[in-house]
Structure 1
């Protein structure tokens, strides 16, 4: 599995000048996506809706609204 491309604009283009706030989204060679964000598993795990679940190896990651909106044009429809 390899990173194929960034989805959206880079953190620097969104105004991040430091390594402390760099959420990002990448498309992978297997068609999946990887996300760099803030681990909020401890804060949000108990707030998941009844029809949502998380495996022990999965984490709940938060990215900024600006990051996702900036990626919208690059997210494939199918």
Structure 2
């Protein structure tokens, strides 16, 4: 599995001063997506709705609204 491309604007385009420590969204070679976000599993796990859960190997991450909104137009419908 490899990163194929960034989805949405780069951290620099979103106004990051360093351009190195911002949320990001990437399309992977297998068609899935990977995100860089702030780890928030311990804080948000208890907030999950009853029909949601996570596996031991999964984490809940926060990605800024701006990151996802700017990525939306590049995410395929199918």
Give the TM-score band, short-chain normalised.
Answer: over 0.9
In the alignment, what sits opposite 1:54?
54
The unaligned stretches of length 5 or more in structure 2 are none
In the alignment, what sits opposite 1:10?
10
Mapped partners of 1:59, 1:16: distance in 2? 24
Mapped partners of 2:17, 2:59: distance in 1? 26
Output the TM-score relative to the length of structure 2: 0.95
Output the TM-score relative to the length of structure 1: 0.95
Which aligned pairs between 1:1-78 and structure 2 lie closer than 5 A? 1-18=1-18, 19-20=20-21, 22-78=22-78
CA RMSD for the aligned pairs? 0.7
Mapped partners of 1:56, 1:16: distance in 2? 32
The CA deviation at 1:14 is 0.2
- Runs ≥4 residues deviating over 3 A: none
The unaligned stretches of length 5 or more in structure 1 are none
The CA deviation at 1:74 is 0.3
